[in-house]
Amino acid sequence: MSDFIASEDRAVLERHGLASFEALWALKLDAVDEPNVERGGWSSVCRLELDGAAYYLKRQSNHLTRSLRRPMGEPTFAREFRNIRHYQQLGIPALQAAFFAERRAPGERRAILLSRALDGWTDLYRLLDQWSELAPAKRQAVLHAVARLAAHLHGQGQMHGCFYPKHIFLRAAGEDYQACLIDLEKTRPLWFGKRDRVKDLEPLLRRTARSWSKAEMGRFLADYLGGGVDVEQWSRHLVARLQDKASRR
């Protein structure tokens, strides 16, 4: 895969001498959290601000994922970058890549993924912390936005695979909300139809159960399913999966 630079970001990166793998790899920045040292390598995330534009610079070494197509492994950022581009082609709202590249060094496989920061957006996890304080109209707008995002995702034949509140970002747009997704590493096609859709929604409903009332969960499902679908039947499938997950702990 050749180096990728988004046309919208090329000028600012070139202005700061950062339009290459080597320059971004050598950049000294503080990590926003502890590096991930799983998978036999490491992966870190730093915030980068350039001329008023904000980015997240993700760098990794020997942090690989394996699949049937790539049994020898590939950087997890390579998979995420492909999914970011795929979502863009499908029109699924998600984070945007500004730069991606890979390099091989002796005993090392390195990768960089630079994405635009979602400044002005708030993840659903934070909104849940203040859920009881939100006006009813605002709660309904959030529920509708998340349901619409899930419906569009699945309507395009994709399963996110990690559909958690912390991976769903929202931004007010008048009286409504826009919603988009981050963390696309585990996304894959909906191979098993309804079963995969239920599997994708279950983590969201499990993590919102303490904040969303039964009526709000019903409203979410009704918005997600649209008209002409048995909401109660879907609710029973989701409850069964939630109970099955709980019994395995």
| Structural domains of the chain, with CATH | 4-116 (3.30.200), 122-247 (1.10.510.10)
Side-chain half-sphere CA neighbours of 225 within 13 A: 18
Instruction: State the Cα–Cα distance between residues 76 and 33, nearest whole angstrom.
Output: 18
Q: What is the pLDDT of residues 151-202, one digit of tens each?
A: 999 999 999 999 999 999 999 999 999 999 999 999 999 999 999 999 999 9
> What pLDDT is stored for residue 50 in this prediction?
97
pLDDT interval class at 244 (50, 70, 90): confident
Per-residue confidence (pLDDT) for residue 125, from 0 to 100: 97
Model confidence at 2, pLDDT cuts 50, 70, 90, reads confident
- Is residue 247 over pLDDT 70? no
Higher pLDDT, 181 or 72: 181
Nearest to 75 by CA among 58, 98, 99: 58
Question: Sorting pLDDT into bands at 50, 70 and 90, what band is 249?
Answer: low
Q: Give CA angle at 138 (136, 144), nearest 5°.
A: 105
**Which tens digit of pLDDT belongs to each residue from 110-133?**
999 999 999 999 999 999 999 999
Model pLDDT, residue 68: 74
The residue type of 85 is R
According to the model, what pLDDT value does residue 32 have? 95
What is the SS3 string spanning 112-134?
A: EEEEECCCCCEEHHHHHHCHHHC
**In whole numbers, what is the pLDDT of the chain averaged over residues?**
93
Averaged pLDDT, 136-140: 97
CB neighbour burial string for 202-239, b if at least 16 within 10 angstroms, e if fewer: bbbbebbeebbeeebbbbbbbbbbeeeeebeebbebbe
